[in-house]
Amino acid sequence: MAEKILVIGACGQVGTELVENLQNIYGAANVVASDIRKSDNPVFQNGSFEMLNVLDKTQIAEVFGKYKPTIVYHLAALLSATAEANPKLGWELNMDGTFNIFDACLEYGVKRIFWPSSIAVFGPTTPAVLTPQSTILEPNTVYGITKLAGERYCEYYYNRYGLDVRSIRYPGLIGWKSLPGGGTTDYAVDIFHQALKTKSYTSFLDESTTLPMMHMEDAVRATLEITDAPAEKIKLRSSYNISGTSFNPEELAAEIRKHIPDFTLDYAIDHRQKIASSWPDSIDDAQARADWGWQEKYNLENLVINMLDNLGGLSLTE
Ligand code: SER
């Protein structure tokens, strides 16, 4: 039977690129994008689009009943900074939304579901360097708390109901096709846009804040690879650590300066610093590599070249 794919939260940073990739793999007619809001991105003019609020069970039943998806990517969530601004909504959307979608997947016999976790599950007591897969998990942000609880429920739904959920802990994601919305790692995308526009950037994280990061192309590939892997390879039913690269604002600026020599970076630290300071510097992803063959393509050097190139910059400076 041909697969029917439903992407929930499709208009966000990950969804936009994932939908494009899925359309190429499965054909646009087999990919349904859904979100609480519409996006102007041309990718959504191909295939079907449905307005979907994950807190509205009637709407969920309508969409699942209409399309009978076989694979679901449930990406709808409030990210770290947005959830801190509205903690109750953060809990509700991230948890109740997840229960509603997991329950619908069971009811409609969905074969596989992808649910993203985050490095936000880690907290100030977690070992920060090469953070192990299994370690102290004491997040102190609403987003991190919901992602940790969500991971536990991924495993629970698998063990108790046989729901085939697959999950990875995304690091900060950096891509040129879509913009992030409300995260703590957003600076690492914005910096490229500003570097090309004004040759300067004001960072809201301090110079020594090293965080795990990943190019969006790697993140989308990881998402597709784990979702398509044979079930027996997915030995962890909570969520896998995956690693791309790690850097702080100063290291990123130095790499950008190789292409835009007069680029300047200054700092105006805000509330997001506290969130970033509670997260690890780098991630040990040995288990993802061993179980389903994870391998990143981008390091800091080629990530910067790719971003500047695609955002139009290298041609201006060369
Ligand atoms: N990029 C996310 C955030 O900053 C982390 O999962 O909230």
**Residues 14-40: what's their mean pLDDT?**
97
Pocket of ligand 1 contains residue 280 by CB under 6 Å: no
What pLDDT is attached to residue 198?
A: 96
Q: Can you tell me which atom of ligand 1 is nearest the CA of 79?
A: 7
What pLDDT is attached to residue 318?
A: 42
Pocket of ligand 1 contains residue 172 by CB under 6 Å: yes
Residue 257 CA, ligand 1 centroid: distance in Å: 25
**Residues 299-307: what's their mean pLDDT?**
98
Domain CATH code at residue 198: 3.40.50.720
**Residue 12 burial (10 A CB sphere; 0-12, 13-18, 19+):** buried
The secondary structure element, H or E, covering residue 114 is: strand 112-114
Q: Which of 86, 115, 118, 272 to mutate to test the pocket of ligand 1 (most atoms within 8 A of CB)?
A: 118
What pLDDT is attached to residue 312?
A: 84
Pocket of ligand 1 contains residue 117 by CB under 6 Å: no
Does the pLDDT of residue 110 top 60, yes or no? yes
- C-alpha to C-alpha distance for 201 and 204, rounded to whole angstroms: 10
% of the chain surpassing 90 pLDDT? 96
**Can you spell out the DSSP letters for 227-251?**
HHS-GGG---SS-EE---EEE-HHH
**Residues 148-177: what's their mean pLDDT?**
98
Residue 65 CA, ligand 1 centroid: distance in Å: 32
Model pLDDT for residues 32-52, shown as the tens digit of each residue: 999 999 999 999 999 999 999
**Do 31 and 19 contact (CB within 8 A), yes or no?**
yes
Q: Can you tell me which atom of ligand 1 is nearest the CA of 173?
A: 1
Pocket of ligand 1 contains residue 23 by CB under 6 Å: no
116: confidence class by pLDDT, cuts 50, 70, 90: very high
Does the pLDDT of residue 80 top 60, yes or no? yes
Cα-Cα-Cα-Cα dihedral sign, residues 180, 278, 134, 129? positive
Model pLDDT for residues 265-299, shown as the tens digit of each residue: 999 999 999 999 999 999 999 999 999 999 999 99
Q: CA 9 → CA 49, 52, 77, 90, 151, distances in Å?
A: 11, 8, 8, 15, 18
pTM of the model: 0.96
Model pLDDT for residues 180-239, shown as the tens digit of each residue: 889 999 999 999 999 999 999 999 999 999 999 999 999 999 999 999 999 999 999 999
Pocket of ligand 1 contains residue 227 by CB under 6 Å: no
Q: At what angle do helices 249-257 and 300-310 cross, to 10 degrees?
A: 60
What pLDDT is attached to residue 313?
A: 63
Q: Which of 79, 246, 271 to mutate to test the pocket of ligand 1 (most atoms within 8 A of CB)?
A: 79
**Residues 149-164: what's their mean pLDDT?**
98
Q: Which domain holds residue 124?
A: 1-318
Residue 76 CA, ligand 1 centroid: distance in Å: 13
What pLDDT is attached to residue 1?
A: 63
Residue 183 CA, ligand 1 centroid: distance in Å: 5
Does the pLDDT of residue 317 top 80, yes or no? no
Pocket of ligand 1 contains residue 239 by CB under 6 Å: no
Work out how many domains the chain is built from and give that number.
Answer: 1
Pocket of ligand 1 contains residue 122 by CB under 6 Å: no
What integer best gives the mean pLDDT of the chain? Answer: 96
What pLDDT is attached to residue 181?
A: 85
